Chain A
């Protein structure tokens, strides 16, 4: 699947394997961390892109997940807390021949780096942002994060956290994101499929990956992983398909005609024609947003996973390049002497005599 989203990125000449994407650095996440599964999935998926490895760049911020670039045998930068989208924007907008990936976490992307994230999304820079959400601060040893549920007991909140969490998918849709998806670390197949669609998307793609921190927030997503619970908890979104879940698809999502909101119902003979058919490509973000609100933030029941939204709109880096080309078409390629000289000069002759307005 050579990506069409990156027409200017050179293709690789040799077929690559996951091994080619493993760096020589020892991976230093805690044993059992969900990050291992994500790393393996990304390394396994990269060869599919068919891109020249040297034209792939991973940029991260700070946090456990942000160590990711060290383990990828591509170009990479482990930057500053929260700033990876800004740095990646500079790289992507100056080098259209690169495939630029951002690896970030819930603290990195949504706390200190919230501003850069939303602006990257609204600009639609050609970045693939992988947001590892474990609903906790790991690297600083267990404080609550901006996605932690209210009342979270942590070292910094012994009586429970007070602030309402962000829903990263809702936030991204609200920030004009053109591609928003959610997946889970332990579901390699689903994760890979979502990455595939993100890679194909021209513009900014935000992929929220639910990731287990087995040290500070173990089991945070158990409701979505446990076989018994998952059927009731997980809603798999597939473009063009009715949104049904539960054992034998006994539950579905319909739009309440009075409020316009979405709700979960038991599917019956009478209502099955009203089950919402998922349309990820519709330009309006309304339904995607409503889908992002279905989940209960505490129990995670009715959590949709998959691609919420995938719509095409102009890509920032392409627009920026187009302006440079247009400028050359309109004014000709810049000539330094002409620029420096300007329109209003005078000349001082050797014999120390000024010629007024000689160069007008």
Chain B
């Protein structure tokens, strides 16, 4: 936290309280999974977005819906990084920790640097609650938090007191303590409050008493900050005036951006959108979101299982829809056979994989990038599938459109590899103009495309476009184009069953050539002075921390180049040439080196793999240290 002393200033209320100006802050709200920490974080984010800061968020919650109260596994947290300039990550370490109970303190304290502020709900620090998480003595009293600036606040008592005029039990009134905490933090950081009050009134529209109680608790928290001696300082983080190109902005999470990308792609392709899906964390939000947009002609089908989800999508693709299935981790494994069929049928199909920790059930709510090789190779036979990966939450919108472009143009299933961090994280997004989006319109086959030796005009379902190698998309209902397709090897051209060895060899190579020949943009390399010897090459959601790390190194005078892959299959055509320009290529990934393996195999370079699989995104400082070590060794 960098601080510019601004001297005492008049607080809005008129009492002279010191206001300090900061350029960026990282706040982490932590509590029981039933304490409403995600909602609290979301609201603070919304206030921050409308205030005009740049921001990045990291929700972190257990897979259990309500893990046992007060336990370490039950802790849910939400970290928010906001700044007066453009930022790339949710922040390595919190400047402020809000701990709603002893478990939240214990689970998070290791991440909090000395000197940071900690706001604790003292009401929850009972002997029993502390014993539950292994505190023999109260950390608030035993001196173990001396290095921090601790604000002990009886949040529950204050909330109950503020709500004493409401006809609520102590327990029910206490539930609003998260809004009290939000009010306090909103005061500390001068956040606008109107939107939160409006949100609460809307959320609890059917229970006006509860809505009002939450608003009162929220205001009480604000007023508490303003009046109590303990909070002598408040902070300003100015809007990020120069961070953004002009335009209209909103805050958006990865899954929402991805959902919008799908709706937009369907509109731009002039095809109906069809989602076949089975609920799975952290992909279900896309099913929820798309199911709200039936007025766009979007059909959502909650299938009986993962296999039926993709099966229905493939059936819809045969019928001429822009078909999508959404899943995560083990769900991809279940869909493998159908993806193979889609490769064989050569129909457009989007497979959205919101990667999570694996193997098996793994870590449902944590992030990982370990499905890359599964997306690349996880099928029987030679079954190449293009792979596209978004780099930030907002980028999920563009990546979804790009994946749709490839699927439609090349009549192929396409993997869109997002992950749990992108899915739930959020950032400001410039709302695009619809006419700026790519035109994805497609021409269905309408008539015969081949002339037999005897002059008969016929339709050949596997006669390919010479440029793209795509086969015609002839949808049922088109007279004269009746044809049969299936998973058995097909004769080139006619599509009839063929067991001919030479034909199979040809078809396998042709399907591969089609994917290899997909046109993707060249890889941009950021090498400001052109003198770097080391390249950091990432893919997917590591973009934020990698870029932040590279900036830190450059600010310290180091020269390092950076590039980030959006297309994992096929790779950009210039990738080999880019890799050869650098003495050393560092590949940070949230897996055990899957991209590095591909690069080594394909380009015969000794990629330096740097990996992390703890379910969390990289921290910029840790990446910077690693890169610095490589630079120093050069």
Contact = CB atoms under 8 A, between A and B. Distances in A.
Interface of A: 10, 23, 25, 52-57, 59, 62, 69-70, 72-80, 83, 86-95, 97-98, 115-116, 119, 320, 323-324, 326-328, 330-334, 336-337, 339-342, 344-350, 352-354, 356-357, 359-360
B557 interface: no
Interface in B218-273: 239, 241-242, 244-251, 260, 263-264, 267, 272
A330 to B, nearest CB: 8
A31 B66 CA distance: 62
A330 B292 CA distance: 12
A94 to B, nearest CB: 4
Nearest to B52: A354
A77 B484 contact: yes
B476 A95 contact: yes
Given A80-B341, A336-B264, A344 B477 contact: no
Given A78-B488, A80-B487, A354-B241, A119 B294 contact: no
Contact of A348 (B245, B314, B319, B481): B245
Nearest to A122: B304
A345 B299 contact: no
B203 to A, nearest CB: 14
A78 B486 contact: yes
Contacts, number: 229
Given A90-B323, A95-B319, A341-B431, A69 B297 contact: no
Contacts of A98: 319, 476-477
Contacts of B40: none
Most chain B CB within 10 A, of A10, A95, A356, is at A95
Nearest to A357: B50
A73 B295 contact: no
Nearest to A89: B312
A341 B256 CA distance: 12
Given A80-B338, A327-B295, A348 B477 contact: no
B304 A77 contact: no
Contacts of A92: 315
B530 interface: no
A116 B311 contact: yes
Nearest to A330: B295
Given A54-B481, A348-B244, A348-B247, A77 B308 contact: no
Given A324-B295, A331-B295, A349-B246, A90 B301 contact: yes
Interface in B160-177: none
A143 to B, nearest CB: 20
A97 B475 CA distance: 12
Contacts of A10: 477
Given A83-B338, A339-B296, A356-B51, A347 B312 contact: no
A213 B214 CA distance: 71
A354 B48 CA distance: 13
Contact of B476 (A57, A333, A349): A57
Interface string B285-298: 00000000111111
B480 A87 contact: no
- Interchain residue pairs A-B with the least CB separation, the first 5: A78-B486, A90-B315, A90-B312, A86-B311, A334-B296
B373 interface: no
Interface string B320-341: 1101000000000000011001
Contacts of A73: 482
Contacts of B192: 356-357
B263 to A, nearest CB: 7
A94 B313 CA distance: 9
A341 B315 contact: no
Contacts of A342: 250, 431
A94 B314 CA distance: 11
Contacts of A341: 248, 250, 431
Given A77-B345, A336-B263, A359-B248, A54 B51 contact: no
A196 B246 CA distance: 65
A124 to B, nearest CB: 14
A69 to B, nearest CB: 5
A54 B477 contact: yes
B485 A78 contact: yes
B197 to A, nearest CB: 13
A94 B299 contact: yes
A59 B241 CA distance: 58
A53 B480 CA distance: 9
B362 interface: no
A323 B263 CA distance: 17
Contacts of B320: 94-95
A237 B245 CA distance: 75
Contacts of B304: 86, 115-116, 119
A86 B46 CA distance: 41
B315 A23 contact: no
Contact of B241 (A23, A327, A333, A352): A352
Contacts of B430: 348
B315 to A, nearest CB: 3
Interface in B325-370: 337-338, 341, 345
B58 interface: no
Nearest to B249: A346
Contacts of B263: 334, 336, 339
Contact of B276 (A90, A328, A332, A348): A90
A279 to B, nearest CB: 31
A324 B431 CA distance: 26
B47 to A, nearest CB: 10
Given A54-B476, A344-B46, A347-B247, A86 B307 contact: yes
A90 B250 CA distance: 34
Contacts of A346: 49-50, 52, 248-250
A54 B482 CA distance: 6
A340 B482 contact: no
Contacts of B267: 336
Given A94-B272, A115-B304, A327-B294, A356 B241 contact: no
Interface in B442-501: 476-488, 496-497
Contacts of B49: 344, 346
B295 A333 contact: yes
Nearest to B338: A80
Contacts of A97: 477
A112 to B, nearest CB: 10
Contacts of A327: 293-295
Contacts of A354: 52, 239, 241
Contacts of B245: 348
Interface in B41-80: 46, 49-52
Contacts of A334: 263, 293, 295-297
A51 to B, nearest CB: 11
Most chain B CB within 10 A, of A116, A353, A354, is at A354
Nearest to A23: B484
Nearest to B267: A336
Given A55-B477, A339-B260, A86 B308 contact: yes
Contacts of B479: 52-54
A243 to B, nearest CB: 35
Most chain A CB within 10 A, of B52, B195, B321, is at B52
Most chain B CB within 10 A, of A88, A330, A334, A350, is at A334
B420 to A, nearest CB: 23
Contact of A80 (B194, B295, B337, B496): B337
Contacts of A75: 476, 482-484
Nearest to A92: B315
Most chain A CB within 10 A, of B298, B307, B318, is at B318
